[in-house]
Amino acid sequence: MPTSSSEYSIFLFAYKYLFPVYTYLYDWSKQNIPKEGRILYVGYHSIHAHDLLPMAFSIYKVTGKLPRGLIHYAAMIVYGPLFRRLGCVAGSQESGIQAFKDGFHCICTPGGIEEAMQGFESSYKLIWKSSSGNERRGFAKLAREANATIVPFVTRNGEEMVFSPIGYLWNIVGLSRLYEQVLNLPEPFRIVLLHIKMLVYFFAWTLMSIPVPVRAGVVFGKPIVPKKNESEIDFAERTKYQVQELINQVNPGGHCYSRGLNDRFQS
């Protein structure tokens, strides 16, 4: 598993010093992490993304393999210097296949920033469609071509890990719905607004949020492999269904801070 001197530098630093903080603050747990074979972890992108790092840390702790994050190309343009040192690459078929050849496990959240920016009103609902309206199915093609097993994941009380005042107001006044309409503008306006959206998301949802000491942890579902003669469309839809079922099972009732706090202090 070759890596350059700078690759994973931030990831390994955060694993050493930040993961213990997550473990203490959220009573972080990890369940059913598979270890063998080529694995493509596929899951839900939370509003704030604070759960994605400890999820990756958990994979590394249990498997001993550094996970390779497959990130939307637009996010790599905006946050590339940071993401590359967290071990992430642009989520193309070529980079994914190369990651598997190099011995990495890969992580993918097909909903990406579009899923995250829907806000609290759409918490725990998979939205695997790009801002241009295309269904996200590339992960299914990657799994088939790389002979990888898809393993769904979700974070227990992931959305409840933090509270974002700006994100909350964003939903209450209807800006989330308005902004989605604005993104329907023709190019080049749409792509410019998409990049602005990336910056707004990071600062409003991720940085300017308040930790909530719920009990949190990553849960992995049953492995998914393509059936004989199954199309990529059907494979992707079956994966989406199983990920949503896992979300509903792990976080019943949707977004709920009281559930997360009860899990922590009354169990």
Q: Please check the confidence at residue 176 and state whether its pLDDT lies above 70.
A: no
Q: How far apart are CA 255 and CA 237, in angstroms?
A: 24
Q: Is the pLDDT of residue 20 over 70?
A: yes
Output the pLDDT for position 121. 73
User: Is pLDDT at 213 greater than 80 in this prediction?
Assistant: yes
- Closest Cα to residue 251, out of 137, 165, 123, 149? 123
pLDDT of residue 107: 96
Whether the CB-CB separation of 209 and 162 falls below 8 Å is answered with yes
Structure-model confidence comparison of residues 195 and 238, the more confident one: 238
Euclidean distance between CA atoms 223 and 228, whole angstroms: 16
Structure tokens at 137: 């199915």
Structure tokens belonging to residue 51: 């759960």
Q: Order across the sheet with 217-220: list the strands.
A: 29-31, 217-220, 149-156, 39-43, 105-108, 67-71, 88-90
Return the CA Rg of the chain. 18
Segment 124-146 shows an average pLDDT of 87
Predicted confidence band of residue 4 (pLDDT cuts 50, 70, 90): low
Global confidence as pTM: 0.89
Two structure tokens written together for 112: 């990406």
Whether the per-residue pLDDT at 236 is higher than 70: the answer is: yes
**pLDDT of 222 above 60:** yes
Would you say residue 141 has pLDDT above 60?
yes
The sign one gets for the Cα dihedral 171, 177, 179, 183 is positive
Q: pLDDT per residue over 245-264, tens digit each?
A: 999 999 999 899 999 999 99
Q: In whole angstroms, what is the distance from residue 136 CA to residue 130 CA?
A: 7
Q: What is the pLDDT of residue 80?
A: 83
- Tell me the three-class secondary structure of the chain, residue by residue: CCCCCCCCHHHHHHHHHCHHHHHHHHCCEEECCCCCCCEEEEECCCCCCCCHHHHHHHHHHHHCCCEEEEECHHHHHHHHHHHHCCCEEECCHHHHHHHHHCCCEEEECCCHHHHHCCCHHHCCCCCCECCCCCECCHHHHHHHHCCCEEEEEEEECCHHHEECHHHHHHHHCCHHHHHHHHCCCCCCHHHHHHHHHHHHHHHHHHHCCEECCCCCEEEECCCECCCCCCCHHHHHHHHHHHHHHHHHHHCCCCCCHHHHHHHHHCC
C-alpha–C-alpha distance, residues 153 and 150, integer Å: 10
The pLDDT of residue 267:
62
Q: Which pLDDT does position 1 carry in this prediction?
A: 57
Percent of the chain's residues with pLDDT above 90? 55
19-23, 55-59, 179-183: least confidently modelled range = 179-183
- Does residue 151 carry a pLDDT above 60? yes
24-61 confidence digits (pLDDT tens): 999 998 877 777 789 999 999 988 889 999 999 999 99
Greatest mean pLDDT among 115-119, 144-148, 187-191 lies in 144-148
**Residues written for the chain:** 267
Angle at 54 between CA 77 and CA 107, to 5 degrees: 50
Whether residue 154 is predicted with pLDDT greater than 70 in this model: the reply is yes
